[in-house]
Structure 1
Amino acid sequence: MKKMTYDLSQIKNISDNDPDFIKMMVDTFVKEMPVDLERLAAAVVEEDRVNVHRFAHKMKPSLELFGLKSHEHAHNLEIWGKEDIQKDINEDFMILHQELENTLIELKRDF
């Protein structure tokens, strides 16, 4: 069996394992993350530091809540967007993008 990219243990913990709450959280994640990811992608391509910071900052708590390792890459993007550092952020974005795409597929399949 393939290991899932996501981990719902935090959501289960805060909801006392309430299936309706878990489903609502998953539905919200599946609905909102593609939009935020698309906006983040556009900001990365345009090297728009303000919006890279904005969308990475917005996405990071949800990535953490769903147990995605890519929250670390969102953090790197967030820092790049806020500080004037010279760094190629494409790898961080690609890792975040790939894990999030896989997670969205898995969540749609599982819920």
Structure 2
Amino acid sequence: MDSNSLQLIEYSYYEQVKRYLNDPQNATPQDWAAYTSRMDAGGLLDRSKVKIIKTYFYNKETETMSKLWWKLEDLEKQAYLKIITGEEPIDYFDDFVDIWYKEGGRKITDEVRDEINKNTEKN
């Protein structure tokens, strides 16, 4: 494998996995995590009883999304910042959800649900 062709993050994982494989007894926790998350996790998923559900709404944008999504994302960022900085209590999240729905989130949710139902009926 030519490690020069890897992106920076891929190269970092590559080096960590290599260190773990070369000397697992002296590997760092990060080396172990890089190895486990890339090598063991795939096998676990393959052997698991995970039910794969076909996605009926993926990478699409509803009419309302194209108009209001930026506003809802900004609202979300502001709410999270207020909660994280302590300006608002954790319960403020419930208020944020109510505002999000009123500002267009409910309409987007309904549009997505309608699209999923429409596509589900076709299959």
* TM-score range normalised by the length of the shorter chain: 0.3 to 0.5
Q: TM-score, with normalisation over the residues of structure 1?
A: 0.33
Greater relative contact order (Cα < 8 A, sep 6+):
1
Q: Which has the larger radius of gyration?
A: 2
Q: TM-score, with normalisation over the residues of structure 2?
A: 0.31
